[in-house]
Structure 1
Amino acid sequence: MLTEQFVASIAAQTKANTGITKDTGIFVHEFQPLAAQRHVFKKSATAPNGLAMSKSHIFAAQADKSLVHVYSREKGNQEAVVPFPERIHSIALAAKDTVLLLGTESGRVLAWEICSGRLVSTSTSHLQPVTSLAVDPASNFFLSGSPDAMIHVWALPSILSFSPDTSRSPVNTLSTHRGPISSIACGHSSSSSNIAVSVSGDKSAIVWNYHTGQALRTYLLPDLPTALALDPADRALYVGYGDGSMQTLDFYDEFQKITPIDMVQDKASSHRPIQPSTKSRFSAESQKLGATLCLSVSWDGTTLVSGHASGKIASWDAAKKNWLSVLANLPGPVTNLQFLEPSGFPNAKEPSFKLHTVVKPKQDLGSSTTGSALVPPNYSLTLQFTGRIPDQRVSATHSNDAAAVSKTEFEQALSHPSFPQSMLEDSLAELASWDPRSSNGNSVTPATTAAAADFMSLDDDDNGADTTDGASQLTRGSAQTGGELAELRKQLASLQRVQKVTFQQLSELREENAYLHRKEHNKRAAAATAAARGGETDGKKQATNGVGGGEDVEMN
């Protein structure tokens, strides 16, 4: 059965609640199938953006203190209290929950490897405390925001590198905002076109391509934003306000439905600010929820959950923008709210390792006085492998990279976010020219036809196992020799090259046709404008003549 839970935390207990144990600060609630409280953790008071959850632990940065509390989800108790030299204003997990990022009072970001205890610091790039952090799905980059109105993009592999010569400065700076950064959210795509969204005290929300540092879209908000959440499919943005209301900013609006261009990624419209419709804002005034402090969206994107200053956690229908119910009534302002990854999927892939205990941070083990980029001798990991470790094929006659080289081009493309354009074109050309009913003019049996229909090379590697199997199926029941098979492959490659050139020519003709259509449209529009202006001039002349004639009649 599919089970989905969310975790909420409060800043401090501000009202008496006999149904909740004293000193409780973190609450684990089941959202579906049965809405109910499942567990609580005591002795914690977290500020906004101060809560992070992994499969095994919960990390809570304490408000107004230089402490991070660590809780074990398996044991259900507090595992450790970790002190730091300065106050921690925001935290976030990265690298499959093995690295905890901490935004500090001085404007730095600390990277703590919780399985080794290694603690690495970035350069001091923010002028004020780092109050918000967001990590991209691949953990290659993370973003940090601050009241200094700056957003920095960092490369996590560079920060965690053992080499002392590696730069630990931002790779990009997003500096369009003119007010304090309230919150940052990163998209859910692993491609290079993934987006990030930020809201600021200047009453604006900006969609970024953080890889290039370009602002893609700017929304002008009606009030100061206090919370932010992204749809799981990156289709919309949800913003919370201080009066308890929320607003949906739909990336794919009515104009997007009539154009094939992705308007979010369209650079031509990035300079035009967008004023959202007042109909996109919604609230439940009868519930007296208080200011919206945090937002989160369910796994399927149908339900929006909000935490408020009154301690209430409300659920909303994301599509209809209607209030559904109050899920909980906590004894203090709800400062953090986050859905956990749902469990109960059939054939779900289990994690390859598990962290039973968290290693407290130590001095940076990567610093080396010799300038070496090797792993230091006192570096060690503490974790448990839950499955078999994938072994690498080792040969005495080949290099260790032979295992990686032995993969076909198609197998390597499967591990990337998208297929190469050249491979897609070659595959389409081969699919268009392939005819399983005949082979070189010879009659083919039904068994050979079925085998031929299953054969698709999709790769130029003749030594690969897949190509060899396909060739054997193609030649089964046929009297072709090895030379004839090689000749057929040459002919097929030639056809693919011709098809590729044809596709390129068609693409150029389409672009030329579109250009001519635009030119003709502009010419007709100019002619219509000129005709309209000419008509206005003739009308004015006739009116002038009429006025003059009337005066002559009066004089006579």
Structure 2
Amino acid sequence: MLTEQFITSIAAQTKANTGITKDTGIFVHEFQPLAAQRHVFKKSATAPNGLAVSKSHIFAAQAGKSLVHVYSREKGNQEAVVPFPERIHSIALAAKDTVLLLGTESGRVLAWEICSGRLVSTSTSHLQPVTSLAVDAASKFFLSGSPDSMIHVWALPSVLSFSPDTSRSPMHTLSTHRGPIASISCGHSSSTSNIAVSVSEDKSAIVWNYRTGQALRTYLLPELPSALTLDPADRALYIAYADGSMQTLDFYDEFQKITPVDMLQDVASSHRPIQPSTKSRFSAESQKLGAALCLSVSWDGTTLVSGHASGKIASWDAAKRNWLSIITNLPGPVTNLLFLEPVGFPNAKVTPFKLHTVVKPKQDLGPTTGSALVPSNYSLTMQFTGRLPGQPVSATQSNVASKTEFEQALSHPSFPQSMLEDSLAELASWDAPLSSTNGNAAPTADFMSLEGDENATGQAAAQLTPTSQTGELAELRKQLASLQRVQKVTFQQLSELREENAYLHGLEQQQQQHKKRSARVGAHSKSQQKVTNGKGGSTEDVEMSDASSSDSSSDSK
């Protein structure tokens, strides 16, 4: 059965709730098929945009502190408390949940490899704390937002590179907003046309092509936005406001249905801001939900779930744009809400590795030595869950596509003529003497030559070696002689194959000539028969006339 859950967190408990433990701060709820609370994690007061969840662990950045709490989903307990040099305002997972990005108070981003403990820092590019992070679907780029109204686009491979010459500065800076960045979200596509959306306190929402830094579309919002989320198919944008209301911005409207051009990617219309219709906004005034602080959408894209400052978690119908129900009521403001990947698919992909424990960050792994880029004390801690992906090997079936040209020729009745000619040309180049610097011909020292005998080669080797010969040099000479024998046998086989190929070509030419002669004889006999039929005489008469004509010609001579 398909099971879908979401995880949520609160900043701090502000009201008494007898059904929940006092120090509980993270909650796991089952959304379908049965709406119920499944698990809780204690000792956490999570900041907004400070919750990240992998298949094995939960990471929670503590509000107003430089600590990140790590929880094990399998064991259901707190695994570690990780301190950092400064306060953490936002976090996000990347690279198949092996890297945790942390936005700091100083305006830089830290990249923590949770399976090795390596900690990398970007340059300080923001003037204020990094309050929002978003990673694209391919984990090649990530975006950082700040109250300084700037959005920076970073290349994750460059940030994680071991090379000291690699730049850890932003690739692009998206500076169209004129107010603090409230939230950022990346699209679900891995193609080059993937989008990102940002909302700001300047009452605007902008759709970006973050790879090029181009603003694709600008929406003018009626209120201050507090959170956003994208449709699973990137068809629409959902925005939550401080008054508890929601709004749907459809990227593909009625005009898009009658034109073949993708209007969202049309740069020509990007300079015109759009005022959304008032019908796209909806709320539940009778429920007194309070300000919406976080927003997420279900796996099938039909239901919105929002967390509010009153502690209520509400569900909304995304298609009909109306309120459905109150899922639960938590004892504090709901700062984060994330839908987990559904479980129960019959052919679900299994992750090839598993992280049992999280390696705490190491401030300095030490400089690299020599020509190696990876530090000597760098190590990974993970467990493989199955066989590593590789090319299948069969004893009965051969993969012809993976064979080289020479391997295919070995299984063929004869070698191609071009391959034999190339081999003989290469052999001729080996037999050619090497030229010395003074222009005189110098004897070749290449063991691939067929001209020199083994005794001469041994004498040359004896001249090059010191008088005190060791067992190692003797073994090398044995290997050299063995290689020469193998070479001679190989070249002999090549010459035999060439002769065989020439013999087969001769037979084929003889057969073709024989066929041509047979065709000419048959054509001549047919022409004689036509002549005989035209004169009305028999074949014997024609032969006699031919004989008499030949006799008369001889008499005249």
- 2:376 corresponds to: 377
Aligned AA for 1:378?
Answer: N
Aligned AA for 1:192?
Answer: T
Change (3 A) 1:109 1:5: same
Looking at structure 1, the residues matched to 114 and 239 of structure 2 have their Cα atoms a distance apart, in angstroms, of 32
- 1:348 corresponds to: 348
Looking at structure 2, the residues matched to 314 and 32 of structure 1 have their Cα atoms a distance apart, in angstroms, of 15
Report matched runs for 1:60-459 at 5 Å: 60-365=60-365, 367-368=367-368, 372=371, 374-391=373-390
Looking at structure 2, the residues matched to 160 and 366 of structure 1 have their Cα atoms a distance apart, in angstroms, of 15
Change (3 A) 1:405 1:34: farther
Q: Secondary structure at the match of 1:264?
A: helix
Aligned AA for 1:49?
Answer: N
Offset at residue 404 of structure 1 (A): 12
Looking at structure 2, the residues matched to 60 and 349 of structure 1 have their Cα atoms a distance apart, in angstroms, of 27
RMSD (Å), alpha carbons: 1.7
Aligned AA for 1:212?
Answer: T
Offset at residue 403 of structure 1 (A): 7.2
Offset at residue 178 of structure 1 (A): 0.4
Contact kept in structure 1, 2:368 and 2:376, CA below 8 Å: no
Q: Which runs of 5+ in 2 are unaligned?
A: 394-400, 406-557
Runs of 4+ off more than 6 Å: 402-406
Contact kept in structure 2, 1:162 and 1:367, CA below 8 Å: no
Contact kept in structure 2, 1:163 and 1:373, CA below 8 Å: no
Offset at residue 154 of structure 1 (A): 0.4
- 2:433 corresponds to: none
Offset at residue 373 of structure 1 (A): 5.3
Offset at residue 367 of structure 1 (A): 4.7
Report matched runs for 1:435-514 at 5 Å: none
Q: Secondary structure at the match of 2:265?
A: coil
Offset at residue 259 of structure 1 (A): 1.1
Looking at structure 2, the residues matched to 373 and 305 of structure 1 have their Cα atoms a distance apart, in angstroms, of 49
Change (3 A) 1:240 1:378: same
Change (3 A) 1:367 1:185: farther
Offset at residue 363 of structure 1 (A): 2.1
Give % identity: 88
Change (3 A) 1:236 1:18: same
- 1:2 corresponds to: 2
Looking at structure 2, the residues matched to 344 and 123 of structure 1 have their Cα atoms a distance apart, in angstroms, of 43
What's the CA shift string for 1:76-109, capped at 9, x where partnerless?
0000000111000000000000000000000000
Looking at structure 1, the residues matched to 309 and 102 of structure 2 have their Cα atoms a distance apart, in angstroms, of 25
Change (3 A) 1:327 1:166: same
Change (3 A) 1:66 1:35: same
Looking at structure 2, the residues matched to 366 and 61 of structure 1 have their Cα atoms a distance apart, in angstroms, of 27
Looking at structure 2, the residues matched to 390 and 230 of structure 1 have their Cα atoms a distance apart, in angstroms, of 33
Q: Secondary structure at the match of 1:126?
A: coil
Contact kept in structure 2, 1:302 and 1:319, CA below 8 Å: yes
Change (3 A) 1:304 1:405: farther
- 1:19 corresponds to: 19
Change (3 A) 1:121 1:367: farther
- 1:547 corresponds to: none
Q: Secondary structure at the match of 2:275?
A: coil
Number of residue pairs matched by the alignment: 398
Looking at structure 1, the residues matched to 391 and 375 of structure 2 have their Cα atoms a distance apart, in angstroms, of 24
Change (3 A) 1:346 1:404: farther
What's the CA shift string for 1:97-143, capped at 9, x where partnerless?
00000000000000000000000000000000000000001000000
Offset at residue 252 of structure 1 (A): 0.6
Q: Which runs of 5+ in 1 are unaligned?
A: 395-401, 407-556
Looking at structure 2, the residues matched to 271 and 85 of structure 1 have their Cα atoms a distance apart, in angstroms, of 42
Aligned AA for 2:37?
Answer: Q
Aligned AA for 1:382?
Answer: T
Q: Secondary structure at the match of 1:165?
A: coil
Q: Secondary structure at the match of 1:390?
A: coil
Looking at structure 1, the residues matched to 131 and 175 of structure 2 have their Cα atoms a distance apart, in angstroms, of 16
Bigger radius of gyration among the two:
2
Contact kept in structure 2, 1:366 and 1:375, CA below 8 Å: no
